[in-house]
Amino acid sequence: MAVLLTEKTRILVQGITGKEGAFHTAQMLEYNTKAKVVGGVTPGKGGQHSEHGLPIFNSVKEAVKETQANASVIFVPAAFAADAIMEAVGAELELIVCITEGIPIRDMQQIYPLVKSSKSILIGPNCPGIISPGIGKMGIMPGFIHRPGSIGVISRSGTLTYEAVAQLTAEGLGQSTCIGIGGDPIIGLNHLEAVKILAEDPQTEGIVLIGEIGGTAEEEASEYIRQYVKKPVVGFVAGQTAPPGRRMGHAGAIISGGQGTAQSKMEAMARAGIHVVESPAEIGQTMKKVLDKQR
């Protein structure tokens, strides 16, 4: 069963008239079968229609009133993205996905407490979004590699999300929901929260957990899995050859003082009973073997 993004999701696109927003709106309209894209938001262009024929509104609140939207995906420049997130939070949307990368950390520090105390769930920023195969997607994930099924995927890395999904599909394992949580230091939904959501979904049979060096989020999720999750989990940590203190791609991937290393995360996963793989090429086949043993 899909989580977060379901057949009841009605989506707004903040920044629908921009190049990225317009392109990915077209992709979402083509892929989505049950979730619906119902409009866009671009201040100053309210009353017009997008190139896709969707109504454009000046504000999220106005759009929600007219379309009954309950979710938003954000494609706006980094300088304005925090404001866009807070506008969606203020409209009490259930799900907000922020694709924008390069948002200043200070901006996220300021809005983070407000986001976490609201009714909204934020995915991102700097993420590929979320996809529930057979229902719809919010963001930039390539729909054609996904198949409906029972494996949940959680990942800090967009590219590794696609790799894991392609492997699962090749092994005949479809996906319930795939969540790209983003690689910035400050994000909305984290590994632990995403694990809890998928663990509670009765139709999610197994979970793929993909982490990166930096921070302690994977360790925290692993401890929760050790105590409470009975479903099989396959884990991978990117950055195994990264030297201490090196910034590796994502802004959140910084290691120091022996914490946040790939080794420490892999050891925490192994202690939790997670099936840890050393190469992303092993994710799909490992999940297939684990499930075959259980069935």
Distance of CA 213 to the CA centre of its chain: 18
| Side chain identity at residue 40, one-letter code | G
Cα end-to-end span (Å), the chain: 19
The single-letter DSSP state of residue 116 is H
Per-residue pLDDT for 254 more than 70?
no
Catalytic residue among 24, 146, 191, 250: 250
Sketch out the chain's domains with CATH numbers.
Answer: 1-126 (3.40.50.720), 142-295 (3.40.50.261)
Q: What percent of the chain has pLDDT over 90?
A: 87
Give the mean pLDDT of 50-79. Answer: 98
Give the mean pLDDT of 2-15. Answer: 97
Residue 250 among the catalytic residues: yes
Q: Which pLDDT score, from 0 to 100, does residue 253 have?
A: 54
Q: Which pLDDT score, from 0 to 100, does residue 295 have?
A: 76
Per-residue pLDDT for 210 more than 60?
yes
Q: Which pLDDT score, from 0 to 100, does residue 150 have?
A: 97
Q: Which pLDDT score, from 0 to 100, does residue 261 have?
A: 85
Helices 78-90 and 105-116, axial angle in degrees (round to 10): 10
Q: What is the pTM of this model?
A: 0.94
Per-residue pLDDT for 158 more than 80?
yes
The per-residue DSSP string of the chain comes to: ---SS-TT-EEEEETTTSHHHHHHHHHHHHH-SSSEEEEEE-TT-TT-B-TTS-BEESSHHHHHHHH---EEEE---HHHHHHHHHHHHHTT-SEEEE------HHHHHHHHHHHHTSS-EEE-SSS-EEEETTTEEEES--GGG--EEEEEEEES-HHHHHHHHHHHHHTT--EEEEEE---SSS-SS-HHHHHHHHHT-TT--EEEEEEESSSSHHHHHHHHHHHH--S-EEEEEE-TTPPTT---SSTT---BTTBS-HHHHHHHHHHTT-EE-SSGGGHHHHHHHHHHHH-
Q: Which pLDDT score, from 0 to 100, does residue 294 have?
A: 86
pLDDT tens digits for range 72-116: 999 999 999 999 999 999 999 999 999 999 999 999 999 999 999
